Chain A
Amino acid sequence: MNVPLGRPRLLDRLSNQRLILIGCSVFLGLLFLAALAAPWLAPHDPYLVNLAVKLQDPSWTYPLGTDHLGRCTLSRLLYGARVSLGFAVLIFASSLLIGLLIGTLAGYIGGWVDQLLMRFCDGVMAFPSLILVLGLVGIFGPGLKQVIIALMLVQWVYYARMFRGLVMTLKEKNFIAAARVNGSSHWKIFRMHLLPNILPPLLVIGTLEMGWAIMDISAMSFLGLGVQSPGAEWGAMIHEGKSYIRTNPELMIYPGVMIMLVIASFNLLGESLSERFGMNK
């Protein structure tokens, strides 16, 4: 291979893949910051109803205009980011934790424990996942809390499956057997030998999962089952804005653009991460 003379230009050094990785991370990072800082960044109270300024065009006071109740669209979008991102993280983290615990347990212990846990997973996986979520919300009643719990209950199963598979293949590997022979405890084997091998695929799936969670939360709110009326959430904003599609289509366009941008970034990030870890096919 030729050794390039002198320093290559920055853009050449950053390959396409890298650029995507950095771009998406920066965008999502900024969005997370904006969501955290929403109370300081938002120019207005997102719930303040002021019918005198309803359905206004963008102006210096209302950068993205106002909705049918005179609420500031930009402020509502910022507060909506809190709900979408916040609950997506919550769903991801909790279903991951449950899945990690149960999957590793099933894979590591095996036997009847494994059988019992996996049959339960089979039961959950017999339903199309979003329909089970809808069924749970139907049985337990609509509301954000029920939606979040239902999404968690459905999602962990896939993690449990994945971790069980990983642990079972890793268990057979020689370095685990060697660790056991030289007297490492179960916890140490898990921490030192299993976890580092699980992390890369986890990062990829986690990134993709965030996209799905945001999509599902907004879909449920759009259907009117998640975040209820005064609440600022992107799906709920589309639900409210759709009545004004003839006169003020931007009310449903802005939140939709936000959802799409965020999901697209998580998808791109997940894809480039999986390429980085050499996990593609």
Chain B
Amino acid sequence: MGVYILKRVGSVIPILLLAILLLTAMIHLSPVDPAEAYLSAAHIQPTEEVLAQKRAEFGLDQSFLTQYVTTVARLARFDFGTSYVSGKPVLDEVILRLPATLQLATTSLFLAIIVSIPLGFLAGIRKNGFFDHLSRVIAFIGASIPSFWLGYLLIFFFAVQLDLLPVGGIGSPSHVILPAITLALPLIALYTRLLRTSVIETMREPYVQFARTRGIRETVILGKHVLRVAIPPMITGLGMNLGKLLTGTIIVETVFSWPGFGRYFIEAIFDRDMPIIQGYVFLAALLFIGSSLLVDLLQLAIDPRIARKGGNRR
């Protein structure tokens, strides 16, 4: 088991190196000169002299390989450089906006879990029952509705028409309701379907049928034998979809003027603030890879047989 954990954690490093290679190559290939982007973002008149000086400072005059190695060394120290616009370290800018994004993400994740566990469970134990149909409708809407449009629809009904909730911004707990629902709906759609499938599969297991023949009460069977076994596959889905959650925050934060990390990323794209863009994309990859690692380890904790089987590699 120890070996398995070590192997799994170790497998992250080459993927991260590859990701950084890709990122460095992208910047290298881009027609946009970071030195020029810096000067225009910082409102400095570009002259040949200043440009050359900036290029040397960013290490753009060095070979691609040197650039790659310095980038890796820099990122390993969590040094993302300084923002072109504000002149502050990227990490400080990120930390400043992280609480808002985390508040939004955790609220909607919580919302998604408390809705989809009962809904998926009820849909799974009674195929084609009321809850199954309900879950199907939600799954369908969740997969088809663009989240930015859903956000505006919610604003239109609950903020403009009914005047119940604020249009956007941050502050009171009521501010988080609409953005959290917008972000949670696609997740609810997904998790409900995942749990439903998992429950249906578990119900077919011989030990569930055996428990029935032993005369154990149905509620005990469902709670102890079905639900407990059906949840781990859902955790996998949860981890695999962290990327979706992250992408979702970008759009939802833009719609609701939520002062988080995602909206800042979009602003940075318009400002050509390269270090912020690079830092965000790298952090997203880190989070994405880290979460899939965490999910694997969590599953190992729930079901130690995985280590013996060599792990379910994706």
Docked-complex contact A141 and B32, CB < 8 angstroms: yes
Docked-complex contact A245 and B155, CB < 8 angstroms: yes
Q: Which residues of chain B are within 8 angstroms of A134 by Cβ–Cβ distance?
A: 250, 265-266, 269, 281
Q: Does A81 contact B (CB under 8 A)?
A: no
Docked pose: A267 CA to B144 CA in angstroms = 7
Docked pose: A234 CA to B242 CA in angstroms = 27
- Residue in contact with A126 in the complex, picked from B242, B247, B280, B289, CB distance below 8 Å: B289
Q: Does B39 contact A (CB under 8 A)?
A: no
Q: Which residues of chain A are within 8 angstroms of B30 by Cβ–Cβ distance?
A: 139-140
Per the 8 Å Cβ criterion, residues 212-255 of A in contact with B are 215, 218-219, 222-225, 235, 238, 242, 245-246, 249, 252-253
- Residue in contact with A140 in the complex, picked from B32, B145, B147, B197, CB distance below 8 Å: B32
Q: Mark B133-151, 1 if CB is under 8 A from A, else 0.
A: 0000000100111111100
Docked-complex contact B148 and A222, CB < 8 angstroms: yes
Q: How many interface residues does chain B have, given as a range?
A: 35 or more
Docked-complex contact A126 and B146, CB < 8 angstroms: no
Closest to B151 in A: A242
- Residue in contact with B31 in the complex, picked from A128, A140, A142, A252, CB distance below 8 Å: A140
Per the 8 Å Cβ criterion, residues 159-214 of B in contact with A are 160, 197
Closest to B30 in A: A139
Q: Does B284 contact A (CB under 8 A)?
A: yes
Docked pose: A7 CA to B243 CA in angstroms = 53
Q: Chain B binding site: helix, strand, loop or mixed by DSSP? A: helix
Q: Mark A257-281, 1 if CB is under 8 A from B, else 0.
A: 0011001100110000000000001
Docked-complex contact A260 and B281, CB < 8 angstroms: no
Q: Pick the most buried of B152, B242, B270: most chain A CB atoms within 10 A of its CB.
A: B152
Q: A128-B243, A128-B284, A128-B288 are in contact. Are A219 and B32 (CB under 8 A)?
A: no
Q: Does A123 contact B (CB under 8 A)?
A: yes
Q: A122-B15, A256-B152 are in contact. Are A139 and B27 (CB under 8 A)?
A: yes
Q: Chain A binding site: helix, strand, loop or mixed by DSSP? A: helix
Q: Pick the most buried of A124, A139, A224: most chain B CB atoms within 10 A of its CB.
A: A139
Q: Which residues of chain B are within 8 angstroms of A256 by Cβ–Cβ distance?
A: 146, 149, 152-153
Q: Does B251 contact A (CB under 8 A)?
A: yes
Q: Does B254 contact A (CB under 8 A)?
A: yes
Q: Does A25 contact B (CB under 8 A)?
A: no
Docked-complex contact B285 and A126, CB < 8 angstroms: yes
Docked pose: A225 CA to B197 CA in angstroms = 38
Per the 8 Å Cβ criterion, residues 265-303 of B in contact with A are 265-266, 268-270, 272, 274, 277-278, 280-281, 284-285, 288-289
Q: Give the number of chain A interface residues (Cβ < 8 Å).
A: 45
Q: A219-B146, A242-B152 are in contact. Are A135 and B281 (CB under 8 A)?
A: yes
Q: A131-B246, A139-B277 are in contact. Are A126 and B288 (CB under 8 A)?
A: yes
Q: Which residues of chain B are within 8 angstroms of A137 by Cβ–Cβ distance?
A: 269
Q: Which residues of chain B are within 8 angstroms of A252 by Cβ–Cβ distance?
A: 149, 152, 156
Docked pose: A200 CA to B149 CA in angstroms = 33
Which positions in A face B, CB cutoff 8 Å? 119-120, 122-124, 126-132, 134-142, 211, 215, 218-219, 222-225, 235, 238, 242, 245-246, 249, 252-253, 256, 259-260, 263-264, 267-268, 281
Which positions in B face A, CB cutoff 8 Å? 15-16, 18-19, 21-23, 26-27, 30-32, 140, 143-149, 152-153, 155-156, 160, 197, 242-244, 246-247, 250-251, 254, 265-266, 268-270, 272, 274, 277-278, 280-281, 284-285, 288-289
Starting from the known contacts A138-B269, A140-B31, A238-B152, 17 additional A-B residue pairs (CB-CB under 8 Å) come to A122-B15, A127-B243, A127-B285, A128-B288, A136-B26, A139-B27, A219-B146, A222-B251, A225-B269, A235-B146, A238-B148, A252-B156, A256-B146, A259-B146, A260-B146, A260-B149, A264-B144
